[in-house]
Structure 1
Amino acid sequence: MGERRNGVGEAGAPSVVPAGASRGRRRRGLIALPLVLTGLIVHLTALTLRPAAAAEVTVAGRAIEVDGAPFAVRGAAGEGRLNLLKSLGATTVRSYGGDPGALLDAAQAAGLKVIVGLWVGQPRQGADYGDAAFVARQRDELQALVNKYKNHPALLMWGIGNEVEVDLADPAGVWPEIEKIASMVKGLDPDHPTMAVLAEIGGDKAAHLRQAAPSIDVLGINSYGDALFSVAERARGQGWTGPIVIAEMGALGQWQAATTPWGAPFEPSSTQKSIQFRRYLKALGDQQAGAVTFFWGQKQEVTPTFHSLFLPTGEWTEPLESMAESWGGTTPDGNHAPRIASLRLSADPSAPFASWGPEGGAVTLDALDPDGDPIEVRWTVMAESRARGIGGDPEALPKAYPEAISTAGPTGARIGGLAAGHYRLFVEVLDSRGAAATANLPFEIR
């Protein structure tokens, strides 16, 4: 993808006919083209090779416009499989930091725009805004990125930081640096808006950002669960009058979830997540807010599936159907992901978790495929993650215990042979056409 800057790649490059190369003579048995036709080919070739121009992106009230036309921000945070994202009806992909060149090129090829993340150091991770050398170095690095990519045709806007204020007793110290960086970016590139991304807007954060950072054009908010029903309206209540983009959205945050007595958050199944996605995407549309789903890829955060829209083996899950339905797109070949109606304890179907003795216990699965495709069911037992990262910080994958599954099949499994401790049972239901369903159940061995 690195060779496809401005939408022209080696495989798609036109054959160039130099002016006069075959004029007035035969070459390898071919009759020379007439002068007028040859000139026309050269002229068209020059047009084809001309680099694509960067779009002019502007803010008009609550709307974002690209070259004067309203632009709906709908997409995902992550990278890879951008043609699939585009087919769902998405317009946008969001990055967080680093060099965005490969992503911009891939997005241009797929017909998407990019919210390019400019990573702003977080104080909770050691960024010291009282350190002049650190501040200067960070600004120089961001300036270089803006200058390098400000004319890329896939660029939509600049994302200034991500949740920089998280875990600070008083975030007032970070707003001035957000303003200085945003002002610098606008001075370098007046043709693309700036967006700052907050972790929700409690404590009047949107109001504080608006007052302290007037160079921010678009309010980005990471929001999850039922908070999405009112998030944009709450931001308007704090005085934000410009565009709003929900820069991360998901069915449920682990911090919002009910937990077991030992603190393990309950994760919705992929089917439950898909139902919530439909509701939240409609609510955001009604609030005139852009929507960026999280996470376009796979990551360990509490579990390997809590926020992941794909399995580690690459299969997509049902929330993609909700995205396609909301955005007027389609899933690959119109395929539907398998559904999980329930994953329950065999001995106590209403119990939300298991507390077994040393002998273990059994679970029952009720799953189906809407297209009638044959399904494969995979079972895994892992230790309950003890990591509780802040703001999506990296977490190690918990240890797996394949020997703990004594019997397994398409309708259930039996667990045993584990030492006392806290664990989680995962099930994956695959349709052999690239889609899957997921669910898990926390349990303890006493």
Structure 2
Amino acid sequence: MPRLMTGFDFSVLRRAALLAGLLLALPPEGLEAAEVTVSGTELRLDGAPFRVRGAAGDGPLPELAALGATTVRSYGGDPGALLDAAQAAGLKVIVGLWVEHPRRGVDYADRAFVERQLSTFRAIVERYRAHPALLMWGIGNEVESELADMSAVWPAIEEVAAMVKGLDPAHPTIAVLAETGTDKVSRLKAAAPHIDVLGINTYGDAVYSAEARARGQGWTGPIVITELGALGQWQAATTPWGAPFELTSTQRAIQLRRYLAALEPSGPGVILFLWGDKQEVTPSWHSLRLPTGEWTEASESMAEAWGGRTPDGNHAPRIAALRFRDTESAPFASWPATGGAVVLEANDPDGDPIDARWYVMSESTDRGVAGDAERRPAIHEGAVVESDSRGARIAGLAPGRYRIFVDLRDGRGAAASANLPFEIR
């Protein structure tokens, strides 16, 4: 595709557009859009092979770039601020267009809804198609999830993709599936020829075979693991009352090191989930950062895989074990009203002093579907009656199901986290 002309003062046209109230596809002043193409199984940026390495979320982008990342992924909404921030950090953006899910009541036979959604996307594409940080357009995220009959999904994705390609043939489109299923990829390929790149959200050891499974269904173009996590809550073992066991931040980092090593140097692109924090079963399950902003050991996994560096070369605290004091062989506890205690084994590789914050939350009962928003459970102030960096004692709780959490901070921006489920009978 031809590139934007150089030597022209876009600021004149931009000012005119603003005065006229128009949304024109103009790059930031002094910059031009990159040329992004698909060549076989590769993405090319200005003619050179481009590896998608990065994360999804809204955490600090300069820090993500320093880890060796090239890309950040969004899911929907106006991407203007993200594109500008990514450009400043030297990152490219997979801009998500949130194609609404039929499982949430959308009927794609309703043309009025379809046209409204297309109109929203059209305005976004027209406004940002020349932004130099734009890499690809993300056409939906797991639109097919939780459906017994997915037949309406594939033409809906294709209609959006065709519209986007008509407006912006200079940037690829990517459709994101919740795993490959037995025939999801082949059905997408057959029904949506305007999709250039396949995105797969996959968690745990399923990542090892994700590319092969997609190729087995006939996908011949580029593939990006658009959400990579150490373990999904649906994959985890549970207590007798159904509470899934979460990995510690140290265990997650170990798993991510394995997965990233398997995907380098010639595997699919990879986007980790989530560069920020999100309540999903717990506030920490998929979070690569604490709600207060500290990064966890997962950042080290990324830096090691991608040739980057954590802030100041710092290392996050390590958690060797978090266990119940009186039931050390069990991963959960059922205590009487008097409560119980937990033991923590942790250290900091740099010898930094560790500050431990302990708290108890109710076990989550608001479990979203396919990543839908969840309410964060209540914190029970005063339930931790004694604590230090080696453990804590819990008392004063009413009968019910809970988790005890610990967040460790090294005072230099890094952290670790862990939790255990328990019940009071």
TM-score by length of 2: 0.92
271, 295, 313: which one aligns with 2:292: 313
The answer as to 2:73 corresponding to 1:86 is no
Deviates more, 1:121-130 or 1:87-96: 121-130
Provide the secondary structure at the position in 2 that maps to 1:296: coil
User: Against the structure 1 CA distance between its residues 241 and 400, is the aligned structure 2 distance closer, same or farther, given a 3 Å change threshold?
Assistant: same
What is the deviation of 1:51? 2.7
Between the aligned residues of both structures, percent identity stands at 67
| 1:151 counterpart residue number | 130
Q: Distance in 1 between matches of 2:29 and 2:357?
A: 51
Instruction: Give matches, 1:412-427, under 5 Å.
Output: 412-427=391-406
Per the TM alignment, residue 373 of structure 1 is displaced from its structure 2 partner at its CA by: 0.4
Deviations for 1:103-147, whole angstroms, at most 9, x for unmatched residues?
000000100000000110111122210111000111111111111
Cα deviation per residue 1:41-86 (whole Å; 9 max; x = unaligned)?
xxxxxxxx96311011000011000010000000000124100000
In the TM superposition, residue 244 of structure 1 has moved relative to its aligned partner by 0.3
Partners of 1:359 and 1:416 within 8 A in 2: yes
Match of 1:385 in 2: 364
Q: 1:347 to 1:83 in 2, by over 3 A?
A: same
Structure 1 match to 2:244: 265
What is the aligned partner in structure 1 of residue 8 from structure 2? none
2:48 is matched with which residue: 47, 59, 69? 69
Q: Aligned-pair distance for 1:203?
A: 2.5
- What amino acid maps onto 2:233 in structure 1? Q
- 2:179 paired with 1:200: yes
C-alpha distance in structure 1 between counterparts of 2:153 and 2:29, whole Å = 42
Question: Residues 160-239 of structure 1: matches in 2 within 5 Å?
Answer: 160-239=139-218
1:373 corresponds in structure 2 to: 352
Residue matched to 1:41: none
Q: Structure 2: how far apart are the matches of 1:296 and 1:66?
A: 24
Distance 1:432 1:281 in 2: 28
User: Partners of 1:347 and 1:122 in 2: how far apart?
Assistant: 46
* Structure 1: distance between partners of 2:109 and 2:163: 19
Are 2:196 and 1:243 aligned? no
| Equivalent of residue 113 in structure 1, options 92, 108, 125 | 92
Q: 1 CA distance for matches of 2:132 and 2:330?
A: 53
User: Aligned pair in 2 of structure 1 residues 422, 287: CA closer, same or farther (>3 Å)?
Assistant: farther
Q: CA deviation at 1:402?
A: 2.0
Distance 1:415 1:357 in 2: 11
CA distance in 1, matches of 2:109, 2:162: 19
2:305 maps to what in 1? 326
User: Deviations along 1:285-341, whole A, 9 cap, x unmatched?
Assistant: 266200000001111110000001111111111101000000000000000000000
Instruction: State the distance in 2 between where 1:140 and 1:410 align.
Output: 55
Partner deviation per Cα, 1:258-293 (whole Å, 9 max, x = no partner): 000000010000000000000111222266200000
Indicate if the aligned counterparts of 1:345 and 1:354 stay in contact, CA closer than 8 A: yes
Q: Output aligned runs, 1:28-107, within 5 Å.
A: 51-107=30-86
Greater radius of gyration (CA): 1
Shift of 1:350: 1.8
Q: CA deviation at 1:362?
A: 0.9
Partner of 2:254: 275
Equivalent residue in structure 1 for 2:385, among 396, 406, 410: 406
Which structure 1 segments of 5+ residues have no match? 1-12, 14-48
Judge conservation of contact 2:203–2:232 (CA < 8 Å) in 1.
yes
Q: Residue 324 of structure 2 aligns with which residue?
A: 345
CA separation of 1:236 and 1:287: change in aligned 2, threshold 3 A: farther
Map residues 7-22 of structure 1 onto 2, 5 A cutoff: none
In the TM superposition, what is the alpha-carbon distance from 1:426 to its structure 2 partner? 0.2
Number of matched residues?
399
Q: Which amino acid aligns with 1:121?
A: E
For 1:50 and 1:384, locate their aligned partners in 2 and report how far apart those are by CA, in whole Å: 50
Q: Which amino acid aligns with 1:277?
A: L
1:292 to 260, 267, 271: 271
Structure 1 segments of 4+ aligned residues over 3 angstroms from their partners: none
3-state SS of paired residue (1:161): strand
Q: Secondary structure at the match of 2:151?
A: helix
SS at match of 2:183: helix
Which residue pairs with 2:411 in the alignment?
432
**Contact kept in structure 2, 1:232 and 1:284, CA below 8 Å:** no
Q: TM-score, normalised by structure 1?
A: 0.88
2:337 counterpart letter in structure 1: P
CA contact (8 A) 1:232 1:287 kept: no
Alignment check: 8 A CA contact 1:233 1:287 kept = no
After TM superposition, give the deviation of residue 348 of structure 1 in Å. 2.3
Give yes or no for contact 1:340–1:366 (8 Å, CA) kept in 2: yes
Letter in 1 for 2:139: I
Whether the 8 Å CA contact 2:228–2:271 is kept in 1: the answer is yes
Structure 2 Cα separation of the partners of residues 316 and 50 of structure 1: 33
State the 1:359 CA deviation.
1.2
What is the aligned counterpart of 2:282 among 303, 308, 315? 303
Structure 2 CA distance for aligned equivalents of residues 106 and 91 of structure 1 = 13
User: Which stretches in structure 2 are left out of the alignment for 5+ residues?
Assistant: 1-10, 12-27
